[in-house]
Structure 1
Amino acid sequence: MSEPIIRVEQLTCAYGPVTVLRDVSFSVQAGEVFVILGGSGCGKSTLLRHLIGLERPAAGRIWLDGAELTASEGAARQALMRGFGVAYQSGALFGSLSVLENVLLPLNEFTSLDPAARELVARLKLRQVGLENYADYMPAALSGGMQKRAAIARALALDPRILFLDEPSAGLDPVTGAELDALIKRLAGTLGLTFVVVTHELASIFAIADRALMLDKSAQGMIALDTPQQLRDHPPSAPVRRFFHRETA
């Protein structure tokens, strides 16, 4: 097996004296759709914030595409963080900019392409998510699902190898959520992207995940890592069984 594109070793995440996650270790292979799941308050968003460099761990190490994020500083850290894309739960589009202008933002900031080339790239990214006819729309004129697609297009602007998605299906109706799941699978397959997706939506987990890591609040860490089908059919513990079979405690 090739070297993983993401490697996490004994990661401990804390806010002051409060430890949220302890001794979390896992790896993600290139081209994999890897889901982080668990109940409310289990640390999914905390883990994501550490993976994308917004928080410093209390202990442990994170490698992204062969470089250690946790040891990087200054310009080297910024360059490493430009090697992945992030789409947040809300979409986080700038409301005063058109869809095209939102996608152009990272290209304007971090590339030396001429303006015509930057616009060509931005329109290509919109085409990849099915929004080529909405470039001049303002975000407020888009549906929730289209805003999520626009956010993914912006996250793709710098051609990252890894894309982090935070609750992409949250707030979407089942049909729109399924369309977004299909987009994730298509982008992973056609572009060879690695996806790390935070979600608790069972339908999405089974639709997109190659493997799923489950966090648990009581355990302050990970309690399972396998394919969704294996976790459903052969749950290793009662919390895993309750999650995948929607059982009460």
Structure 2
Amino acid sequence: MMDSAPLPDDPAAAADPLVRVENLTCAYGRNVVLRNVSFEVPRGEVLTILGGSGCGKSTLLKHMIGLEQPAKGRIWLGGQELTAATGSARRRILASFGVAYQAGALFGSMSVLENVMLPLAEHSELDPPARELVARLKLREVGLEQYADYATAELSGGMQKRAAIARALALDPAILFLDEPSAGLDPVTSAELDALILRLSRALSLTFIVVTHELASIFTIADRALMLDKQEKGIIAVGRPQDLRDHHPDPRVTRFFRRGEETPV
């Protein structure tokens, strides 16, 4: 099992990490899901977290965004230790990143625009006209400016994912966490969402941490992939997806990336 992701010859390891996870152990009672997990994510990287069912992908994400407290270990986001922060310091850290959940988690009683304005109302001192202006700009960034006044139920699945990303962008975060963004989407819509992630990463210098099992997305968006394993309770591989597919010595890794299917080069 690998406890530390960046290797000495990994170019990503040379950059100052925007995200650092150190000796993280995640447990629910006596059930240990992840043990002594360590890795770093440099600024501007798109890192995908992947692995089989029950390997701890969602558990790791919940700990990284502060929904769960670790049994052991530390997490830094933007140089600030989330795991030790309390009160207003913790709230500032939580406001420094964005999250788009698998199901979108949009409020059906609000319009698309109102959903995107919500973080601004909660975490900024902008007046309502300024909040609306910022929200409309975020919707423009994801290609939904003409749908601002729609009810969320009127949007397609792919558009709801885009609206969730726009809301996650509302506070101009440096880090964006995405939970299974392509889940439930057809291949064309999924590819369009992948293109959006890449464009936002490059245009805004955003760091993305994406939980996904979709091979097409992994090969399209990921600078590096981090693979978890249920039996090992931790990381068994990290690196460029193509390298993990073609050269990794662990058959569990190559099986995951090949799965009997033809994968992009």
TM-score, normalisation: structure 2:
0.92
Q: How many angstroms apart in 2 are the aligned matches of 1:181 and 1:55?
A: 28
1:161 — aligned with what? 174
Q: How many angstroms apart in 1 are the aligned matches of 2:23 and 2:160?
A: 36
Given the alignment, which residue of 38, 53, 56 partners 2:69? 56
The count of residues paired between Structure 1 and Structure 2 equals: 248
For 1:5-41, what per-residue CA distance to the aligned partner results, in whole angstroms no more than 9, with x for missing partners? 0011111100000000011110001000000000111
1:105 — aligned with what? 118
Q: Which structure 1 residue ranges, 5 or more long, are not aligned?
A: none
1:41 — aligned with what? 54
Q: How many angstroms apart in 2 are the aligned matches of 1:130 and 1:24?
A: 37
Deviation at 1:2? 3.4
Q: How many angstroms apart in 2 are the aligned matches of 1:247 and 1:129?
A: 34
For 1:93-144, what per-residue CA distance to the aligned partner results, in whole angstroms no more than 9, with x for missing partners? 0001000000010111111112111110000000000000000000110000
Q: How many angstroms apart in 2 are the aligned matches of 1:105 and 1:245?
A: 41
Q: How many angstroms apart in 2 are the aligned matches of 1:99 and 1:242?
A: 41
Given the alignment, which residue of 126, 135, 140 partners 1:122? 135
2:205 — aligned with what? 192
1:91 — aligned with what? 104
3-state SS, counterpart of residue 183 of structure 1: helix
TM-score, normalisation: structure 1:
0.98
Alignment of 1:21-36 (within 5 A): 21-36=34-49
Deviation at 1:71? 0.8
Given the alignment, which residue of 153, 162, 168 partners 1:140? 153
Q: How many angstroms apart in 2 are the aligned matches of 1:169 and 1:2?
A: 29
Amino acid of the structure 1 residue aligned with 2:236: I
% identity of equivalent residues:
73
Q: How many angstroms apart in 1 are the aligned matches of 2:86 and 2:141?
A: 33
Deviation at 1:247? 4.9
2:81 is the alignment partner of 1:68:
yes
Q: How many angstroms apart in 2 are the aligned matches of 1:167 and 1:108?
A: 27
3-state SS, counterpart of residue 49 of structure 1: helix
Question: Higher mean Cα deviation, 207-216 or 70-79?
Answer: 70-79
Q: How many angstroms apart in 1 are the aligned matches of 2:256 and 2:163?
A: 31
Question: Higher mean Cα deviation, 233-242 or 167-176?
Answer: 233-242
Q: How many angstroms apart in 1 are the aligned matches of 2:249 and 2:62?
A: 27
Q: How many angstroms apart in 2 are the aligned matches of 1:63 and 1:177?
A: 31
Q: How many angstroms apart in 2 are the aligned matches of 1:138 and 1:38?
A: 35
3-state SS, counterpart of residue 8 of structure 1: strand
The answer on whether the counterparts of 1:224 and 1:236 sit within 8 Å (CA) in structure 2 is no
Amino acid of the structure 1 residue aligned with 2:157: G
Question: Higher mean Cα deviation, 110-119 or 208-217?
Answer: 110-119
Q: How many angstroms apart in 2 are the aligned matches of 1:235 and 1:86?
A: 31
Provide runs of 4+ in structure 1 moved above 4 Å. Answer: none
For 1:158-178, what per-residue CA distance to the aligned partner results, in whole angstroms no more than 9, with x for missing partners? 000000000000000000000
Deviation at 1:3? 1.7
Q: How many angstroms apart in 1 are the aligned matches of 2:258 and 2:204?
A: 33
Q: How many angstroms apart in 1 are the aligned matches of 2:73 and 2:221?
A: 28
3-state SS, counterpart of residue 5 of structure 1: strand
1:217 — aligned with what? 230
3-state SS, counterpart of residue 34 of structure 1: strand
